[in-house]
A and B are shown apart, each in its own frame.
Chain A
Amino acid sequence: MESIKSQQVTFKVFRFNEETDYLPYYNTYILDVTHEEVVLDILNRIKWDHDGSLSYRRSCRHGICGVCSIKANGKAILACKTRLFDLIETFGSEITLEPLSTKRAIKDLIIDKKDFWDKHAQVNPYLVSDIEETPASEHLVSPHDAEKLLEADYCIQCGACHYSCPALEINDEYIGPAAFAAAYRFSADVRDEASLDRLHVVNAEAQGVWDCVKCMECAEVCPKEVNPIEKITKLHNMVFEAGIAKNNVATRHAVGFAHSIAKHGLLDEGELVRYSEGNIGVLKHVPVAIKMFAKGKIVLPWNMPKADKLDEIKKLVKSSSTVKF
């Protein structure tokens, strides 16, 4: 029999009890871990062998219920799916285990996920459809239409992306990657009849898709490969396609690229800011622009460089454009 590889690891575990503690603290446990153990095994061992008061959520142990998500050295993981040796490979033999959001901790690794569910509720994450009680035939969804939903349908609401999203961390109103993925899931369903309502929700300022900083963390962190940022891009597209994109700084910023490329092949940075912000809004950028100009960082309109073979680019912009604003 092959010998089981083991290694000593120091675990620093976040401890906090909302009812008795003002401040959180960390307990340290030094354990021998083996190749096949997952983080949940470690939590169980700490609870069963060292400190029965350690609290964390667990249920399926199969990466499907989504309750065991926590952070290991800042990376959101499913405790039941993450092998110790993968963590050690990335972070070395000191592993800090914390709740998904330390500011939402109730007891140790358990958080209050209310904000997560509230954000979900905001996008009506269910199929809205008037179905006849006795339909003459089945409502069939073609494989092609079903395929569009697959990835988005894999979401197990673990919250890993939600509690790793920097836009959400700063802006409480932001709906966030998981709920956006759900909004896409149902709005892209051919049977759904509430798509437009949902698109209005995701199109609103501050809470909507426009506040995404495009850090790609939600795609990186998701244990189910839902790729929320890709769904967010699709929601952007759907907003334009549905003709409900408002004429504001966010939409003009996206559209401005097409204008600029059609004209120069390249992005005219100054013009993009002016077009996006409008003639008045742009004024707030003047102080920085003056400093940049003094350092040779602003290209004046008459010096704007152009791509070679601009005629090709113009032709392609004309023939390949699929939306109008």
Chain B
Amino acid sequence: MEKLKYALFTGCTAKESTPEQMMSTLAVAKKLGIELVELTEASCCGASHLQDYDDFLSLVLNARNIAYAEKHGLTMVTICNTCQLNTAMTKHRLDHNAELKAKVNAKLSEVGLEYKGTSQITHFLYAIIDDFGLDKLKEMIVKPLSQFNIAPFYGCHNIRPSELQNETHKNPESAYRPTSLDDLIVACGGASVDYEEKNKCCGFHAELQAPRTAAILTGNAVAGAMDANADWMVTPCPLCHLKLDTQTHHASVAIGREVSLPVLHMQQMVGLALGCTPDELGLKHHVTKVNFI
């Protein structure tokens, strides 16, 4: 197989509140022999909020990020669900609306850039599953996670709207019964836990505006995983991670029940199974202690 190579859009969170996510992404890519070219010029994607204020500005900025991936002639890989949704949504809108694309390109030309629509955009989770392949991953596992019941938490913005998301997946993922993260858990040797909240929302995006709603959603998710006997949770989204890892106190108060579980980034889980050290994966950066290592 040819060496896999992607343009990495890190998003902001990986550079700020989830440094462990950046560390574990690089560690796993290295183990798997995947080359990641970081798009250091990329801006924030607007996290599904900038577009509420200024939709056009959000389009221009996201198109600029994609234009840099196009310059490298590479597929863009994202490591945040919301980055994935915003970027893929921008691509979809521009690729299906010549007038809008021309308007956006008129702006980009001011800085000597052009959005062409030549790069695909995929989340690292699907890059591993679709491009690298779980069979190959299984062969590389040195420390299988066989002692653990692991609760997958998919996060909204990687599975909905499925019509958009499935444009780039090899196998369509159902928003009501997603399987990719479960498959990844199993490939790492773990047992995947089924629970109602695994495809539900953690509430992250309304944390400041609607704190009660956000806290209850987080509480329900962790409680659901606990009741299904999960030892820990895993997510492909750093925003879900922030919510589930740092906000369980508020969540517990909101649902009137003490809830808390260690939460790993998808990359950390894969990294553990591949034999990376806890330090390489930044496990010490979690607020909820990763108590099983």
- Chain B residue nearest to A239 (CB atoms) is B52
Question: Within the assembled complex, what's the spacing in Å between the Cα atoms of A250 and B160?
Answer: 23
**What 0/1 pattern do residues 288 to 303 of A give for CB contact below 8 A with B?**
1001100111110000
Contact between A167 and B208 (Cβ–Cβ < 8 Å)?
Answer: no
- Chain B residue nearest to A208 (CB atoms) is B209
Question: Within the assembled complex, what's the spacing in Å between the Cα atoms of A237 and B160?
Answer: 22
Contact between B177 and A91 (Cβ–Cβ < 8 Å)?
Answer: yes
Contact between B49 and A257 (Cβ–Cβ < 8 Å)?
Answer: yes
Give the residues in chain B near A298, CB-CB below 8 Å. 16-17
**CB of A37 within 8 A of chain B?**
no
**What 0/1 pattern do residues 200 to 238 of A give for CB contact below 8 A with B?**
000000100011111111011000000100000100110
**CB of B131 within 8 A of chain A?**
no
**What 0/1 pattern do residues 204 to 243 of B give for CB contact below 8 A with A?**
1110111011101100000000000000000000000000
Q: Which of B64, B108, B160 contacts A217 (CB 8 A)?
A: B160
Give the residues in chain B near A62, CB-CB below 8 Å. none
**CB of A249 within 8 A of chain B?**
yes
Question: Within the assembled complex, what's the spacing in Å between the Cα atoms of A167 and B209?
Answer: 12
Q: Which of B12, B53, B204 contacts A240 (CB 8 A)?
A: B53
Using a CB–CB cutoff of 8 Å, the interface residues on chain A facing chain B are 73-75, 90-91, 166-167, 170-171, 206, 210-217, 219-220, 227, 233, 236-237, 240, 249-251, 253-255, 257-258, 260-261, 265-267, 269, 273, 276-277, 287-288, 291-292, 295-299, 305, 307-309, 312-313, 315-317, 319-323, 325
**CB of B7 within 8 A of chain A?**
no
Give the residues in chain B near A297, CB-CB below 8 Å. 16-19, 246, 285, 287
Contacts known (A90-B174, A91-B177); A316 close to B60, Cβ less than 8 A: yes
Stretch at the interface among B38-46, B184-192, B270-278: B38-46
Contact between A320 and B107 (Cβ–Cβ < 8 Å)?
Answer: yes
Contact between A216 and B285 (Cβ–Cβ < 8 Å)?
Answer: no
Extra inter-chain contacts (17) besides given A269-B16, A288-B287, A297-B17, CB under 8 Å: A75-B176, A90-B177, A213-B206, A233-B51, A236-B53, A249-B208, A250-B209, A253-B49, A261-B50, A267-B44, A295-B285, A296-B19, A312-B41, A312-B113, A319-B110, A321-B57, A322-B55
Give the residues in chain B near A255, CB-CB below 8 Å. 53
Q: Which of B46, B47, B213 contacts A171 (CB 8 A)?
A: B213
Give the residues in chain A near B13, CB-CB below 8 Å. 269
Question: Within the assembled complex, what's the spacing in Å between the Cα atoms of A265 and B41?
Answer: 8
- Chain B residue nearest to A205 (CB atoms) is B209
Contacts known (A215-B201, A240-B53, A261-B61); A167 close to B213, Cβ less than 8 A: yes
Question: Within the assembled complex, what's the spacing in Å between the Cα atoms of A319 and B284?
Answer: 43
Contact between B161 and A216 (Cβ–Cβ < 8 Å)?
Answer: yes
- Chain A residue nearest to B282 (CB atoms) is A296
Q: Which of A73, A170, A295 contacts B216 (CB 8 A)?
A: A170
Question: Within the assembled complex, what's the spacing in Å between the Cα atoms of A220 and B159?
Answer: 9
Q: Which of A261, A292, A309 contacts B287 (CB 8 A)?
A: A292
Contact between A220 and B206 (Cβ–Cβ < 8 Å)?
Answer: no
Contacts known (A220-B162, A258-B57); A215 close to B43, Cβ less than 8 A: no
Question: Within the assembled complex, what's the spacing in Å between the Cα atoms of A258 and B56?
Answer: 12
Question: Within the assembled complex, what's the spacing in Å between the Cα atoms of A309 and B213?
Answer: 38
Q: How many A-B residue pairs have CB under 8 A?
A: 204
Give the residues in chain A near B19, CB-CB below 8 Å. 296-297
Contacts known (A167-B206, A323-B53); A213 close to B217, Cβ less than 8 A: yes
Chain B nearest Cβ from A304, distance in angstroms: 8
Contacts known (A90-B174, A266-B12, A322-B56); A167 close to B210, Cβ less than 8 A: yes
Give the residues in chain A near B138, CB-CB below 8 Å. none
Contact between A291 and B54 (Cβ–Cβ < 8 Å)?
Answer: no
Contact between B56 and A291 (Cβ–Cβ < 8 Å)?
Answer: no
**CB of B5 within 8 A of chain A?**
no
Give the residues in chain A near B205, CB-CB below 8 Å. 213-214
Give the residues in chain B near A315, CB-CB below 8 Å. 110-111
Contact between A166 and B201 (Cβ–Cβ < 8 Å)?
Answer: yes
Give the residues in chain B near A254, CB-CB below 8 Å. 49-50, 52-53
Question: Within the assembled complex, what's the spacing in Å between the Cα atoms of A217 and B48?
Answer: 15
**CB of B116 within 8 A of chain A?**
no
Quick one: which of B44, B85, B162, B246 has the most chain A CB within 10 A?
A: B44
Cross-chain pairs A/B with CB under 8 angstroms, 7 sampled: A167-B213, A214-B157, A265-B43, A266-B44, A288-B250, A312-B111, A325-B53
